[in-house]
A and B are shown apart, each in its own frame.
Chain A
């Protein structure tokens, strides 16, 4: 194959790299092999071939098509061989190929000088979206939340324990029990005993403060909880401000908007004042069967309480004694000068296993590890 074609394919790989599509050297090589394998004179074939080799995900496709058009910008015609478009043409350059070369040189310069810079900018926009406060959540982030929820839900449902249990159709042979049964028969008519790892399911109980000061964060955490519950049945959700309401049934609705709507009808004190202690006590009294060592209790509240801190202490003592783990999410932790200074927060701290923030997607990601026992 002509060396100019090789050169232009390699150059194209560089351009892609500059735009944040990570192309390795091995892929450049494959790209050249792919172009050789197809009909070089057919622009669409070349496009499809390069796309198959050089992209690795759906997100890359738009960038790829964009760049492909810019890079192999040629007049359509039988002799519009892609590899020639930017190689110094023997034909007199017309206006069109002139512009194409200019735009191409721009790309190339970008590729050479600002390679690093482009990469960094990519990373930081991603980071920015993960760090953005949940309050200003964009539509794309919703998808992130859903995906994250599904992943966490799976871990919660399928965490294998280190222990085994006997199961007739288990994956592994249980050697000890097989030997035992062989003793009984004197080595005849062997029935293989099998065993399998116990799956430890975690139950999640969410107690979410929906008082006025928490309104925005609560809505967004509930969004996350809704996604979790849709992917995983063992989630119980309660909301409280001055009183506690179980909202699990409303969350079984398909869409979050519907769930919020149903909740709005039944929870009268949405965005009212806060009595954390009483709400926690009401939970410990009313739903003791939800608390066992396989339960993670997740409390979302900023700790601004109009009730007695002593009640927080008492109720949380009871909850913490029976639950596997108590996680307290305080969105105010997102601000750098936070310390758990409110009275309710100070009363709660001795019983809380994990104090975490929940003000952006990134902090929800960090939360994942605390949700699986």
Chain B
């Protein structure tokens, strides 16, 4: 995974390894912006296979996630056959075949040929309970019954990664079915390595100061604690400004990359005004 510039630690690596060895779905939870979704992306790249992504949202239902018939095309098909005066029975038989089937992510993952794909079910906590129950069924059997076509069974079992921001408790049944991985905010060392890997343009001092500052921020109780993606955004912004170290002025101007809440901005701003910057990046020493 490290070769795909995803800085990992052993708990992540072990969980991912087990998910593929035991063939169980992997449920990843953690604060926003710690790289949950990236696990699936990197996994697909490492295994050199397709990534099929299902983004969950409120009101997502089974048809949208599974399959739909391409009605306009079917109608067109009927018209064409009519024009040729074809046998209506033959027309009907051809109507519900593979080529009129629009495969949505779940069916696409099941019907996938070749190498097992990675199926990413993103932010599963945003879907509702009914969809979760439906998902459970799919994840246990990897087969779908389409009334007109019959049952489609997965030839190769896809590797499933689910992510959740814990906006709602997932059902115990779904949790049981999955391996569980909790990704915490990174340690200083890990964060530093990530900054070095992802933003190599930042010099050593800047990278260290950024990481230390972020670590301090997460220790203050904020409305929205910044994640890793904020760290990287900020690092890139600072590099674009040709910064080689942090000073009070610079931090003030670019703090919007890191803090996305007005009250937080004010709070950290006050601390900066009191000249606490060196204290906040003091972890480096």
Contact = CB atoms under 8 A, between A and B. Distances in A.
A58 B18 contact: no
A255 B10 CA distance: 38
Contacts of A44: 10
29 contacts: A27-B176, A30-B22, A30-B24, A37-B21, A38-B14, A38-B17, A44-B10, A45-B10, A48-B14, A48-B15, A49-B14, A49-B18, A51-B11, A51-B180, A52-B14, A52-B15, A52-B179, A53-B18, A56-B175, A56-B176, A56-B178, A57-B29, A60-B180, A151-B168, A154-B58, A160-B59, A173-B71, A254-B261, A258-B263
Contacts of B19: 52
A241 to B, nearest CB: 30
A97 B24 CA distance: 36
Contact of A58 (B21, B29, B61): B29
A190 B77 CA distance: 12
Interface of A: 22, 24, 26-27, 30, 33-34, 37-38, 44-45, 48-49, 51-53, 55-58, 60-61, 147, 150-151, 154, 158, 160, 171, 173, 187-188, 190, 192, 254-255, 258
B182 interface: yes
Given A27-B176, A58-B29, A255-B263, A52 B181 contact: yes
A171 B172 CA distance: 30
Interface in B170-194: 172, 175-176, 178-182
A44 B166 CA distance: 27
B241 to A, nearest CB: 29
A28 to B, nearest CB: 12
Interface of B: 10-11, 14-15, 17-19, 21-22, 24, 26, 29, 58-59, 61, 63-64, 71-72, 75, 79, 128, 166-169, 172, 175-176, 178-182, 223, 261-263
Contacts of B26: 52
Contacts of A55: 180, 182
B74 to A, nearest CB: 10
Contacts of A53: 18, 22, 179-180
A258 B10 CA distance: 43
Given A57-B180, A61-B182, A154-B58, A45 B172 contact: no
A187 B80 CA distance: 12
B165 to A, nearest CB: 12
Contacts of A190: 72, 75, 79
Given A45-B14, A60-B180, 10 more contacts: A26-B176, A34-B22, A37-B18, A37-B21, A52-B19, A52-B26, A53-B18, A56-B175, A150-B168, A192-B71
Nearest to B15: A52
Nearest to A45: B14
Contacts, number: 87
Contacts of B168: 147, 150-151
Contacts of A45: 10, 14
B172 A56 contact: yes
Given A52-B181, A190-B75, A192-B71, A58 B17 contact: no
Contacts of A33: 22
Contact of B10 (A22, A37, A48, A187): A48
A207 B110 CA distance: 52
A188 B10 CA distance: 63
B64 A171 contact: yes
Contacts of A173: 71
Nearest to A188: B79
B61 A171 contact: yes
Given A151-B168, A254-B223, A255-B223, A38 B71 contact: no
A45 B75 CA distance: 57
A58 B166 contact: yes
Given A37-B18, A57-B180, A48 B11 contact: yes
Nearest to A23: B176
A51 B24 CA distance: 14
A57 B63 contact: no
A24 B177 CA distance: 11
Nearest to A24: B176
B124 to A, nearest CB: 14
Contacts of A49: 14, 18
Contacts of B64: 171
Interface centre among B15, B26, B180 (most CB of A within 10 A): B180
A22 B19 CA distance: 20
A62 to B, nearest CB: 11
Nearest to A197: B59
B147 to A, nearest CB: 16
B263 A37 contact: no
